[in-house]
Amino acid sequence: MTGLAIELDDIDKRIVTELQRDGRISYADLGPIVGLSPAAVRQRVQRILDAGIVQVVGVTDPQALGFPVMAMLGVQVDGDVTAIADRIAEVDGVIYIVMSAGSFDLMVEVICEDTMALLDLINARVKTVPGVRRVESFVYFGIHTHRFGWGVR
């Protein structure tokens, strides 16, 4: 991913929308939807991928993979927030980190096999990172809404 700056026209935006619906759609199927030949669609998709606008990945279900315990950790830090986030990112089970404003400097999403693994992750691995002042956990009962189709309308 090179992160080239490109401007998306209406066809590019439609391509992105369709890829958000189905990242495995073939160029032959995508072409008629956006009004282009499969070859033209392939070139546009590659340009969009090269620019880092879209990344095609397999989205997993943590519960189906044996990680039924999920939580968001609100983390307050002293010192360099980015450096501390980098250290927390090395912890197995951390899947997402957001630098934020408000009560917490970092919001850290985690997945675990069970509640004891969550306790260990918080107590032995996150709280021990130098600069971590406080951790508050928000255990998920379930995910109500999880969207991938945004940003191009």
Q: Report pLDDT digits (tens) over 9-51.
A: 999 999 999 998 899 999 999 999 999 999 999 999 999 999 9
Rounded to 10 deg, the angle between the 27-34 and 10-21 helix axes is 130
Q: Are residues 3 and 52 in contact, defined by beta-carbon separation less than 8 angstroms?
A: yes
Q: pLDDT grade, residue 3 (50/70/90)?
A: low
Quick check: 148 pLDDT over 80? no
pLDDT at 151: 67
For 142, the token pair is 């379930």
Query: Number of H helices and number of E strands within the chain?
Result: 5, 4
Q: Which range has the worst mean pLDDT, 60-69, 82-91, 101-110?
A: 60-69
Query: CA angle, corner 54, sides to 50 and 58, nearest 5?
Result: 115
Domains defined along the chain, listed by start: 10-50 (1.10.10.10), 69-139 (3.30.70.920)
Q: How far apart are CA 118 and CA 110, in angstroms?
A: 8
Q: How far apart are CA 129 and CA 46, in angstroms?
A: 40
Q: How many CB atoms lie within 10 A of CB 81?
A: 15
Q: Are residues 76 and 105 in contact, defined by beta-carbon separation less than 8 angstroms?
A: yes
For 83, the token pair is 């450096």
pTM for this prediction:
0.79
E strand or H helix that includes residue 112:
strand 106-112
For 33, the token pair is 């939807």
